[in-house]
Amino acid sequence: MVKKIRFDIAGRLPLGGGAPIVVQTMCNTSTDDIEASVAQCRAMHLAGADMIRLTTQGLKQVDSLGIIKKRLHAEGIMTPLVADIHFLADAAIAAAEVADKVRINPGNFARDHEVAKDKFDRLLDVCRRCGTSVRIGLNHGSLGERITTRYGNTPLAMKEAVMEWLRMCREKNFQNVAVSLKASNTLVMVEAYRLLYKAMSDEFGMIFPLHLGVTEAGNGDQGRIKSAVGIGSLLAEGIGDTIRVSLTENPVNEIPAGRAIVRAIADGYKRGGTRQRVEAQSWNDFIIKASCLWGPSLLDKTIDDFPLEGSTIAGKPVGTADGERFRDMLLQACRRRFTAPEYIACPGCGRTLYDLEATFEEVKRRTARFAGVKIAVMGCVVNGPGEMADADFGYVGEGRGHVTLYKGRTPVERYIPQEEAIDRLVSLIESSLS
């Protein structure tokens, strides 16, 4: 009998082991901007967020996170706060004294693997003493050379990387751990989680709580459809305990989108479920339910198309034009047919130093004719170059007012003024395709 691990975050939010699905989000404010971060956390709390993550680049931001937590608690807002750590293991250890949960990325926790193991051992000791939980949060594209040399940049590599870190947790008898293996490619994301779930079951006889998400999903309909395909496919298989819908929008919008995916699965909009057609109250309701219903079979190539006849929005048949537009978007989200550019865009966080939402919209407007081309718009150089692993071209913020353009994983125009960057991105794509 496989055991599903369950624990309480901050002593009050149950995670895993059959507990209700936890819907979380992440601030896009600077953590050092206390007023803006508190205001955004307050809005997220009112929207129903179960957990909130904030970027924590260094020790200064650990101090800021502590102030934010105290301010929220003084208002009666007890939503657990997660410190998001990249590259600085000492910040993770310090944050464990302050945050309710610490997210680390195995691919960049420390450059040397032996140093990383030692620092992680110390982190777990602090977490145990302080009652802090941990997320081992791996992203496709930030695996690290040691892993990719052995396994390539593949779902198998993602599974193997996470299993190493889970073994360290088991050696320390530390079980307050959640895991994620996110990718912007829905096929890679779903396969990685399936492999990890089986590996945990086979080797450990237990399943650690899984945090699901399609990273850099974009915005609007595309972001919601990709997220519903990836997250919905796994939830329908009983895989997943907490979710985040990563949207390049106001992060408050992520919460109703996440709730809608959970509700759609519960209402039978899944492969093998009770629904054969979609009855929706709104367009957003329709695209999420329909993506959960037909996305998994498209993703696994057990069907090539799907019927829209009989599906309704607010009691009216889905219009032909809207239906065909949705069909194109869903087929593309499932990697079956590409009729538009494939956009990879991070949701932004405290490390982003430009107007990511407006820039992404303008990039989409200017590049809409490049069907099938994968274009990334990333907030910063911390994660951008690694996490846009599938992109043909990338626009990555590099300091205030400057951008670096990428062709594949290679930077080709460095530190150019932001006001010139979109023109030069379009020119780069055009010259490369000609």
**pLDDT at residue 219, as a whole number:** 92
**pLDDT at residue 111, as a whole number:** 79
Mean pLDDT of the chain: 93
Indicate the angle between helix axes 113-130 and 155-171, nearest 10 degrees.
50
8-state DSSP, 113: H
Q: Is 337 helix (H, G, I), strand (E, B) or coil?
A: coil
Predicted confidence (pLDDT) per residue in 57-102, tens digit: 899 999 999 999 999 999 999 999 999 998 789 999 999 999 999 9
Average pLDDT over residues 272-294: 94
Contact 51, 251 (CB under 8 A): no
**Percentage of the chain with pLDDT > 90?**
80
8-state DSSP, 246: -
Tell me, what amino acid is at 313?
A: I
What is the value of pTM for the model shown?
0.93
**pLDDT at residue 249, as a whole number:** 94
Predicted confidence (pLDDT) per residue in 312-362, tens digit: 999 999 999 999 999 999 999 999 999 999 998 887 777 777 888 899 999
Residue 173 burial (CB count, 10 A): 8
Structure tokens at 291: 């993506």
- pLDDT band of 7, cuts 50, 70, 90: very high
**pLDDT at residue 306, as a whole number:** 94
Structure tokens at 13: 């939010």
**pLDDT at residue 147, as a whole number:** 83
Predicted confidence (pLDDT) per residue in 97-118, tens digit: 999 999 998 878 777 888 989 9
Structure tokens at 430: 């055009």
Predicted confidence (pLDDT) per residue in 223-240, tens digit: 999 999 999 999 999 999
8-state DSSP, 368: T
**pLDDT at residue 382, as a whole number:** 66
Residue 272 burial (CB count, 10 A): 9
**pLDDT at residue 152, as a whole number:** 86
Give the residue from 54, 56, 55, 49 showing the smallest Cα distance to 24: 49
**pLDDT at residue 129, as a whole number:** 97
**Percentage of the chain with pLDDT > 70?**
99
As a whole number of angstroms, the longest Cα–Cα distance in the chain is 61
Q: Is 31 helix (H, G, I), strand (E, B) or coil?
A: coil
426, pLDDT greater than 90: yes
Contact 425, 402 (CB under 8 A): no
385, pLDDT greater than 90: no
Cα–Cα distance, 91 to 102 (Å, whole number): 10
Residue whose entry in the numeric block shows the structure tokens 């620092």: 119
Per-position DSSP letters for 158-205, written without gaps between them: HHHHHHHHHHHHHHTT---EEEEEEBSSHHHHHHHHHHHHHHHHHHHS
Residue 305 burial (C-beta neighbours within 10 Å; 0-12, 13-18, 19+): exposed
Higher pLDDT, 217 or 107: 217
CA 158, chain centre distance (Å): 15
What residues does 344 pair with on adjacent strands? 376
Between 172-176, 188-192, 409-413, the lowest mean confidence (pLDDT) is in 409-413
Average pLDDT over residues 399-414: 89
Per-position DSSP letters for 41-88, written without gaps between them: HHHHHHHT-SEEEEE--SHHHHHHHHHHHHHHHHTT----EEEE--S-
Domains of the chain: 3-212 (3.20.20.20), 213-337 (no CATH), 342-433 (3.30.413.10)
**pLDDT at residue 272, as a whole number:** 78
**pLDDT at residue 383, as a whole number:** 66
Most confident range, picked from 32-36, 113-117, 380-384: 32-36
Cα–Cα distance, 95 to 65 (Å, whole number): 8
